[in-house]
Amino acid sequence: MKKLLLLWLLPGLLLTQQAYAQATTSGAGPKPATAARTSGNPIFPGWYADPEAVIFGKQYWVYPTYSAPFDQQVFMDAFSSPDLVHWTKHPRIIDTASVTWARRAMWAPAVVQKGGKYYLFFGANDVHEGEVGGIGVAVADRPQGPFRDYLGKPLVGNIHNGAQPIDQFVFQDADGQYYLLYGGWSHCNLARLKPDFTGLLPFPDGSTFKEITPQNYVEGPIMFRRQGKYYFMWSEGGWAGPDYSVAYAVADSPLGPFQRVGKILQQDPQVATGAGHHSVIQVPGKEEWYIVYHRRPLTETDMNHRVTCIDRLYFDAQGRIQPVKITQEGVAARKL
């Protein structure tokens, strides 16, 4: 009894006698913070999809879609972490109340820091030809918002080259030029952004939208540059099914041409299904890469029951992306 009382009174232990007894007999109850050596998958609770992972300063940030029926997707949350393991939720960083033209289906945020401001690109309304909606831009003074509508209208609100204006991603090239990649309905467009993000710049040939659609493309494009090459990644298959996946191509220019290399992320029937719509982060100055994506737990049949996960991303000596092993463990703690 004396041992139990001493343990209970030790500084830093937040256990009641009842909780302590339960923890020692069942393995449940509070755990010391030092017990978390890996992130685990999913990395935070809740139904979230289409994660945009970025680094701002000494913090990792994830901006996902709230995974729910379209009419309930009227806001977005964000999550921050100092080490990829411990995550803080920042609720409702933007909602339809702050965007007069958006009413539902707020999807796939992409966030950029520029000039002391944070710009959030988002899709809204699941727009079709003749409807109001598309890709918007919001701005805030902090990465956790609150974000307010920047333009008062969509940045891209019409159908160009057959691409639904959703699933936007912003890529900055080595020369400083920002590009907007986007597109659903199996078409992907690339456009040049004005420096202040208020509109699009024509290409030298006078066109505004360049289609760069590779074989099997469906949606969810991203791009990054590594060792002088442009890696273009996208999602294939149907998002509501088990075979959702990610493939990639490599080119010498952001305009391509992009020839599909192969699939690198997909379901593992022993772990989860529907693994797709991802983003990629690199630890600054290191050849250390992570893929953040969503997947559907094996216990779930609801198409909106998707969770956000993280695993390591590796390249071989020739620069090819290696197939990702999806895990329950996630990744080890990594401070910036």
Separate counts of helices (H) and strands (E) for the chain? 2, 20
pLDDT at residue number 1: 41
Please report, for the chain, the start and end positions of each structural domain, with discontinuous segments joined by +: 51-313
Using CA atoms, how far apart are residues 72 and 51, in angstroms rounded to an integer? 18
Using CA atoms, how far apart are residues 173 and 49, in angstroms rounded to an integer? 26
Q: Which helix (H) or strand (E) segment is 6 a member of?
A: helix 2-9
Beta sheet of 245-251, edge-to-edge order: 219-226, 229-236, 245-251, 259-265
Give backbone dihedrals phi and psi of 215, rounded to 5 degrees, phi first: -60, 135
Nearest to 277 by CA among 303, 246, 243, 311: 246
Under a CB-based contact definition with an 8 Å cutoff, are residues 94 and 147 in contact? yes
Task: Kindly name the residue from 50, 52, 167, 311 that is annotated as catalytic.
Answer: 50
Give pLDDT tens digits for 146-160. Answer: 999 999 999 999 999
Whether 219 is catalytic: yes
Neighbours of 5 (CB within 10 A): 9
Under a CB-based contact definition with an 8 Å cutoff, are residues 60 and 81 in contact? yes
Tokens of 226: 């590594």
pLDDT at residue number 188: 98
Using CA atoms, how far apart are residues 324 and 272, in angstroms rounded to an integer? 13
pLDDT at residue number 35: 56
Class of the CATH domain delimited by 51-313: mainly beta
Q: What is the pLDDT along the chain (336 residues), one digit of tens a residue?
A: 433 333 333 333 333 333 323 333 333 333 344 456 999 999 999 999 999 999 999 999 999 999 999 999 999 999 999 999 999 999 999 999 999 999 999 999 999 999 999 999 999 999 999 999 999 999 999 999 999 999 999 999 999 999 999 999 999 999 999 999 999 999 999 999 999 999 999 999 999 999 999 999 999 999 999 999 999 999 999 999 999 999 999 999 999 999 999 999 999 999 999 999 999 999 999 999 999 999 999 999 999 999 999 999 999 999 999 999 999 999 999 999
Q: Where are the beta strands (DSSP E) in 8-106?
A: 48-56, 59-66, 75-81, 88-95
pLDDT averaged over every residue in the chain? 91
Tokens of 194: 């004005």
Whether 211 is catalytic: no
- Cα angle for residues 32, 33, 34 (degrees, 5° grid): 90
Give pLDDT tens digits for 195-249. Answer: 999 999 999 999 999 999 999 999 999 999 999 999 999 999 999 999 999 999 9
pLDDT at residue number 36: 67
Task: Kindly name the residue from 52, 167, 219, 236 that is annotated as catalytic.
Answer: 219
